[in-house]
């Protein structure tokens, strides 16, 4: 296995594990302390806001490379094995669902329209000065 293939596989597993932890946080049989920690880890993993901004050279990616996997590893230990197994199976089924390219195209078109509107608005606002 090449290094790139191995990294892609690990990234896919990390994504599936994060979704499984999200499902575990919502599972009724998960202990409350595990729910609290798991919900925090899943929210931080899915959040676009980082503890250390990514634009800071080198240390900006530390939270992505160290904190998230460490949080996931701790969260996996807190969730009971039967619940985690059930949630992993659900997460694997969700990751196998087909992706709607039409829906993606609609979202891209909306963002492009908003960007065009913003440019027109900015040009008009600066032209009035």
Cβ burial of 64 (10 Å; 0-12, 13-18, 19+) is middle
Taking the model in full, what pTM does it have? 0.61
Please check the confidence at residue 129 and state whether its pLDDT lies above 80.
Answer: no
pLDDT in tens, 79-110: 999 999 999 998 888 766 656 778 778 888 99
Provide the terminal-to-terminal Cα distance of the chain, rounded to the nearest Å.
Answer: 61
Task: Please state the separation of Cα 70 from the chain's center in Å.
Answer: 15
Q: What is the mean pLDDT of the chain?
A: 83
Q: Per-domain residue ranges for the chain? A: 3-97, 100-129
Vertex 93, ends 32 and 50: CA angle to 5°? 55
Residue with token string 């990294």? 7
């Amino acid at each position: 296995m090449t290094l790139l293939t191995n990294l892609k596989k690990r990234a896919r597993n990390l994504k599936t594990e994060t979704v499984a932890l999200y499902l575990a946080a919502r599972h009724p049989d998960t202990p409350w302390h595990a729910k609290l920690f798991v919900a925090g880890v899943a929210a931080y993993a899915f959040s676009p806001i980082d503890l250390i901004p990514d634009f800071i050279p080198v240390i900006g990616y530390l939270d992505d490379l160290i904190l998230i996997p460490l949080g996931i590893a701790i969260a996996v230990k807190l969730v009971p094995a039967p619940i985690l197994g059930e949630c992993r199976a659900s997460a694997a089924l969700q990751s196998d669902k087909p992706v709607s390219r039409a829906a993606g195209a609609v979202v891209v078109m909306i963002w492009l329209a908003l960007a065009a509107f913003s440019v027109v608005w900015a040009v008009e606002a600066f032209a009035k000065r």
